[in-house]
């Protein structure tokens, strides 16, 4: 009797497994859902949804300004409108390179990225979908007459999207918006370092010039990006400062000094000794010298 | 009483048998009508079993021409041709693999695979591919090794040629990680992650902060700057999870819905 019961259950189980298999197996042959539906990349501009993999980057971009403010065209940050336009930077046609012999940023040939589909498609040369970029690729441009080095308004990634950088009217998230006009010449130049970003860029008083030049020499990031993003983004920064400890100089009595009541000439100024102090700055810009203030990063 | 029940049961069984048995002698309808596979290429209707893949393909933006479509985003009338183009012809052309084909005396037994094989996207999209498909250029040779071999397929794929050296590809590490991972062939995880509608979840570990030394240097002749900076490091880590659904929707807490194309 017990054996009969077991046989019945076994049969039922077998039928259930077969039934499940009939319906389920064909769907599991393809490892992932959606892997046989490709994004249409037939246009020459980027059509891959970058944020599908880079939601963290997307949320950082979205957190810069409220969406309502952006849709009203009132965002003060040009980058905030690039939340869904990664290609403006990471597939840029601009390529500025620092020339150590001249001490200036100079135009180089832009990268060729993969684009299109089927016949007429372009294989990437230096990069496929995207490249790491140097902030100065855009912010180091000395001049762009349009018909010169980079006829960039005809570049597929930029065509019809002038407003994102220059201001004006454009199509953003399904509606036409107008953002304040920002001009065309020298409007985003990171001038003031003497790196040739404008015709009048002397940089002779730049407190951070060494920072920029050292960043260029450091290979952790491209070009001067370490310096750019340390100051301009929400990354926490820790700096081990070695300051001069004391100011030393001579003060010599000079009875002939004609600046009463001053009777001392000062000379031989020196900064002597060293003091080590560590500076911790968090994502909000808060700071102290013992540890990172909380929250340290934008992610808590 | 007991006898009458037995008779009733017997009648019922016979009645069912009259209608059902002729069909069930052959367990399934159609199982004795074979597809004609006398030609040289694939003649099996793959989509019969893979209707889910066919449904995905119906809305694809790429590979339409493989089924006879007039362009990449237009599907043609021969969807099974598209299946065969990737899952049979790609390796036939690249490596001379032999799949089962034909019937009777002229048939060819499959060798490396019978009806179909899994396939690396790069089988068609490498440089100098036999298909004439667009090369997925812009990457360097994986691992800087010009003779690297995909551990899953055991094949080498040309990620570069003389005029497409890469060197600045932001996703080079993605490609190499995908090659090392043996769930799919070669770098397919990376290819599919970007180019298809699969939802993607990535556990990102970012560097937490930038650290460097700023050291007073009396001789620095960049007035008024007196600090050399050095020893740049990216220290610590911050973990963030990125969820992207099939439409490209994204956030960092959960998959945006609908997650998969089959959820919509």
Q: Which residues of B touch A94 (CB under 8 A)?
A: none
* Three-state helix/strand/coil letters over A141-175: CCCCCCCCCCCHHHCCCCCCCCHHHHCEEEEECCE
The percentage of residues in chain A with a pLDDT greater than 90, rounded to a whole number, is 53
Question: Quick one: which H or E segment has residue B54?
Answer: helix B51-58
Two structure tokens written together for A69: 């403010």
Question: Quick one: which H or E segment has residue B79?
Answer: helix B79-84
Q: Which residues of A touch B225 (CB under 8 A)?
A: 206-211
Q: Which of B62, B183, B204 sits opposite A40 (nearest CB)?
A: B62
Contact at CB, B134 and A116, closer than 8 angstroms: yes
Which pLDDT does position A146 carry in this prediction? Answer: 41
Which pLDDT does position B186 carry in this prediction? Answer: 97
Helix (H, G, I), strand (E, B) or coil at B17: helix
A256 or A102, greater pLDDT: A102
Contact at CB, A34 and B196, closer than 8 angstroms: yes
Answer whether A249 touches B (CB < 8 Å): no
Contact indicator for A177, A128 with CB cutoff of 8 Å: no
CB neighbour list of residue B123: distance below 8 Å, 6 or more residues apart: B86, B90, B91, B94, B129, B155, B157
Q: Which of A57, A126, A240 sits opposite B168 (nearest CB)?
A: A126
Helix (H, G, I), strand (E, B) or coil at B106: helix
Q: Which residues of B touch A218 (CB under 8 A)?
A: 230, 232
Residue located via tokens 């040289």: B40
Report phi then psi at A176, rounded to 5. -80, 130
B109 or A262, greater pLDDT: B109
Q: Which residues of A touch B249 (CB under 8 A)?
A: 51-52
Q: Which residues of B touch A211 (CB under 8 A)?
A: 214, 225, 227, 229
Whether the model pTM is above 0.90: no
Which chain B residue shows the shortest CA-CA distance from A230?
A: B210
Nearest-CA distance A261 → chain B (Å) = 30
Contact indicator for A46, A87 with CB cutoff of 8 Å: yes
Q: Which of A206, A210, A215 sits opposite B220 (nearest CB)?
A: A210
Nearest-CA distance B98 → chain A (Å) = 21
Residue A144's Cβ-count burial label (10 Å; 0-12, 13-18, 19+) is middle
Contact at CB, A36 and B53, closer than 8 angstroms: yes
Report chain B (264 residues): mean pLDDT per 10 consecutive residues: 76 66 66 81 88 93 95 94 94 93 84 93 95 94 96 96 96 94 93 94 93 89 80 93 94 94 84
pLDDT classification of A244: cutoffs 50, 70, 90: confident
Answer whether A294 touches B (CB < 8 Å): no
Q: Which of A34, A204, A299 sits opposite B246 (nearest CB)?
A: A34
- Report d(CA A179, CA B112) in Å as an integer: 60
CB neighbour list of residue A230: distance below 8 Å, 6 or more residues apart: A237, B210
């Amino acid at each position: 009797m017990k054996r009969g019961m077991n046989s019945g259950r076994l049969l039922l189980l077998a039928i259930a497994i077969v039934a499940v298999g009939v319906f389920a197996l064909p769907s599991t042959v393809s490892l992932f859902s959606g892997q046989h539906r490709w994004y249409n990349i037939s246009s020459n501009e980027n059509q891959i949804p970058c944020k599908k993999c880079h939601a963290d980057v997307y949320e950082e971009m979205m957190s810069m300004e409220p969406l309502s403010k952006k849709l009203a065209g009132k965002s003060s940050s040009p980058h905030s409108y690039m939340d869904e336009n990664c290609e403006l930077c990471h597939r840029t046609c601009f390529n500025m390179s620092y020339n150590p012999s001249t001490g200036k940023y100079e135009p180089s040939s832009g990268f060729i990225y993969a684009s299109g589909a089927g016949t007429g498609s372009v294989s990437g040369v230096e990069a496929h979908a995207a490249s790491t970029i140097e902030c100065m690729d855009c912010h180091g441009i000395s001049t762009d007459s349009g018909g010169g080095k980079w006829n960039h308004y005809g570049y597929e990634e930029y065509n019809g999207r002038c407003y994102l950088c220059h201001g004006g009217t454009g199509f953003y998230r399904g509606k036409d918006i107008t953002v304040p006009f920002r001009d065309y010449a020298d409007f985003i130049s990171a001038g003031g370092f003497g790196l040739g970003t404008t015709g009048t860029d002397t940089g002779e008083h730049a407190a951070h010039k060494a920072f920029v030049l050292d960043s260029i020499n450091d290979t952790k990031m491209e070009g001067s990006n370490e310096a750019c993003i340390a100051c301009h983004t929400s990354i926490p920064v820790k700096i081990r400062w070695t300051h001069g400890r004391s100011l030393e100089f001579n003060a010599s009595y000079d009875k002939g000094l004609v600046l009463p009541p001053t009777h001392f000439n000062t000379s031989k100024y020196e900064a002597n000794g060293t003091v080590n102090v560590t500076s911790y700055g968090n994502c909000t810009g808060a700071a102290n010298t013992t540890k990172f203030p909380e929250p340290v990063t934008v992610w808590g | 009483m007991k006898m009458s029940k037995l008779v009733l049961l017997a009648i019922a069984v016979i009645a069912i048998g009259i209608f059902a048995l002729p069909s069930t002698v052959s367990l399934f309808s159609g199982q004795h009508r074979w597809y004609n596979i006398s030609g040289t290429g694939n003649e099996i209707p793959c989509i019969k079993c893979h209707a889910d893949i066919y449904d995905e393909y119906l809305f694809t933006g790429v590979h339409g021409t493989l089924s006879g479509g007039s362009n990449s985003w237009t599907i043609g009338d021969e969807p099974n041709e598209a299946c065969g183009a990737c899952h049979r012809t790609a390796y036939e052309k690249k490596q001379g693999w032999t799949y089962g084909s034909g019937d009777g005396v002229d048939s060819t037994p499959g060798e490396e695979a019978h009806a179909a094989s899994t396939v690396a996207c790069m089988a068609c999209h490498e440089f100098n591919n036999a298909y004439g498909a667009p090369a997925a250029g812009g990457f360097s040779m994986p691992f800087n090794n010009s003779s690297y071999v995909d551990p899953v397929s055991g094949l080498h794929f040309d990620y570069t040629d003389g005029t497409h050296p890469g060197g600045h590809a932001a996703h080079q590490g993605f490609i190499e990680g995908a090659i090392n991972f043996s769930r799919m062939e070669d770098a397919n995880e990376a290819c599919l992650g970007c180019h298809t509608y699969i939802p993607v979840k990535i556990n990102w570990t970012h560097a937490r902060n930038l650290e460097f030394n700023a050291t007073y240097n009396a001789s620095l002749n960049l007035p008024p700057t007196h600090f050399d900076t050095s020893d740049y490091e990216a220290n610590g880590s911050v973990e963030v999870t990125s969820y992207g659904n099939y439409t490209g929707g994204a956030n960092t807490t959960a998959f945006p819905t609908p997650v998969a194309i089959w959820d919509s």
